[in-house]
Amino acid sequence: KDYPGALTMETIVKPVKYNNDYSKVEVTLVTGRMHQIRVHLSSIDHPIIGDRKYGDFELNKFVKKEFGLNHQLLHAYKIRFVKSFGILAYLQDKEIVCPVPKLFEKIENRLI
C-alpha cells in the first residue's frame, strides 16, 4: 500500500534461471490484483520484457527488433485451482499446464 485507497498485494517470486542482466522467475500470486505481477516486478527493477506500461522501453525495442516479440514475455504455464466454487466447482484441485512458447524459449536461451 503506497497511497491512500491502494489495495494490498502479495506476490511470491522465485528465480529459476538468471545471469547479471536477466532473470527467469516463477511467480505465485497470493492475492489476485490487476497487473499484479507486472507492477511488483517493475517495482523491484525487474520489469517484464515486452511490457509497454511498466517495462523498459529500450530493452523492449531491442527484443522486438531482435526476436520479433510484440507482447509481454509473460506466460501462465501452470494454473492450479485450489478454491473453486459455483460454476467453476468442477475445477477444484485441478491443475492446467501449458508448454512455454518456442519464441520464449529462444529468447531465454539467447539472453540468459
Cα maximum dimension of the chain: 46
Quick: pLDDT tens for 4-54: 877 788 999 999 999 999 999 999 999 988 899 999 999 999 999 999 999
Q: Quick one: DSSP state of residue 52?
A: T
pTM for the structure as a whole: 0.84
| Mean pLDDT computed over every residue of the chain | 94
**Set of cell numbers at residue 103:** 519464441
pLDDT in tens, 18-32: 999 999 999 999 998
pLDDT grade, residue 110 (50/70/90)?
very high
Fold topology of 11-111 = Pseudouridine synthase (3.30.2350)
Name the residue ranges covered by the structural domains of the chain.
11-111
